[in-house]
Each structure stands twice: as C-alpha cells, then as structure tokens.
C-alpha cells in the first residue's frame, strides 16, 4: 500500500473524481460482481469522504443523519440508501450500526483500487473515454514543467551575481518541500427530476486534459 492509500486520500483529487466520474462499471476482482455506475455514486462518496477525513483530523467519529446526507447530495433518502449499499460492496464504506447513531468509515478510491476494475465507455474512435494512467502522466509532466519554470529565474540571477566584482550575501531561496452479470442499480421513480444534476465545470476547471 502506497503513502496515498495509507493516508486514505489521494495525492491529487483527480485520482478520486475521474476514476469514479468516467467509470461506466466497477467490478470487484475477488467476486466478479459488477455494478453500473451513475454520477450520484461519485457525489455521495466524495461528500462522505471529505466529511470523514475532516472529523478524523479532529479525532472524532463521523456521525450524520442519512436524511441530511441525502439533502446535501440532492437525492431522496431511499436513493441514498441504495448507493450506500453499493459503496459498502465496493469496500469504500463501512457503517457501524452498534449504536443508535450510525458512524461511518469512508475509504478513498486509491486505497481500494487494487481490488477493483474500472471500465469506461468507448468513444467514436474506439478508445475508452478515460485513461487514468495517461491522465496522471500528463498531470505530473505539466507540474514538472511549472516547477522548472519557477526555479529557472533564480538560477539565471544567481549566475549574473557571480560575474559581479563585488560579492554580496544573498538570502537563501525558499524552495518547495521536496462474462459476469451486471448488477443494475435503478433510479427510483420518486427521485426528483434534478436528482442527478451536477455542476462539473468547477470540478475539472483546473485539471489539464
């Protein structure tokens, strides 16, 4: 298990959002059980993981009424309950029912992805709509170029100072720290029309493709 998985959170949020957002199905390697994925699953998991990590940082357990979670995720409690069962099956959620108020342990996707197979729909050119490994390579490459660009002016300025006849002390530069049946989850008829509406523009606005 890598450091990101042990910390129960991704190094970059792209690892959570895109794995779930683009996925058409997720298969459990151990059992072969396959689940159709909808946007609602990602929204519920993202919210609950954020809450869980916030509570844990304060040394507290994560308790919240499911009716409030449903309201915040813009779905009915019945729809929420169905997706919570899927998250449990995928190993992303543990519900402690030993007390009257249930507590939640929420696991990150990167901590469980070794147990899961993510499948993506095909584009017109036959390629999958998302290639996670390639997306991460492009992201890390762009970060590396930015880091080089940020450090380059300091290097040039240092070279110029060496040519000056008078040597002056310079303040140290501050650097950055180094064939299986698919289990279909139907959407209830009582779910509001805007139940699956999501604003994704801001989510990926800063993420390079």
Whether residue 137 is predicted with pLDDT greater than 80 in this model: the reply is: yes
pLDDT of residue 176: 46
Whether residue 169 is predicted with pLDDT greater than 90 in this model: the reply is: no
> Which residue do the tokens 């844990």 mark?
56
Task: Work out the mean pLDDT of the chain and round it to a whole number.
Answer: 76
89: three-class secondary structure by DSSP: helix
Structure tokens at 124: 């017109």
Sequence-distant (≥ 6) Cβ neighbours of residue 51 within 8 angstroms: 62, 64, 106
Torsion of CA 112, 119, 16, 76, to 10 degrees: -100
**Domains in the chain: boundaries:** 3-122
pTM above 0.85, yes or no: no
Query: Which range (26-35, 108-117, 192-201) has the least confidence?
Result: 192-201
Average pLDDT on 35-59 reads 93
Query: Which range (7-16, 120-129, 158-167, 188-197) has the least confidence?
Result: 188-197
CATH entry 3.20.20.10 includes domain 3-122: no
- Percent of the chain topping pLDDT 70: 61
């Amino acid at each position: 298990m890598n450091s990101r998985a042990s910390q129960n959170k991704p190094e970059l949020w792209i690892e959570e959002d895109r794995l779930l957002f683009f996925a058409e199905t997720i298969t459990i390697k151990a059992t072969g059980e396959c689940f159709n994925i909808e946007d609602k699953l990602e929204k519920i998991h993202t919210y609950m993981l954020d809450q869980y990590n916030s509570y844990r940082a304060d040394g507290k357990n994560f308790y919240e009424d499911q009716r409030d979670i449903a309201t915040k995720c813009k779905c009915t409690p019945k729809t929420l309950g169905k997706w919570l069962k899927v998250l449990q099956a995928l190993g992303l959620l543990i519900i402690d029912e030993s007390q009257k108020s249930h507590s939640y342990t929420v696991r990150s996707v990167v901590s469980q992805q070794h147990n899961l197979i993510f499948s993506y729909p095909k584009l017109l050119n036959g390629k999958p709509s998302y290639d996670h490994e390639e997306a991460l390579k492009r992201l890390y490459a762009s970060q590396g170029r930015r880091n080089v660009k940020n450090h380059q002016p300091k290097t040039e300025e240092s070279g110029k100072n060496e040519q000056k006849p008078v040597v002056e002390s310079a303040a140290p530069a501050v650097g950055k720290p180094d064939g299986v049946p698919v289990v279909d989850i139907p959407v209830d008829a009582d779910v509001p029309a805007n139940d699956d509406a999501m604003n994704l523009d801001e989510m990926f606005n800063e993420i390079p493709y």
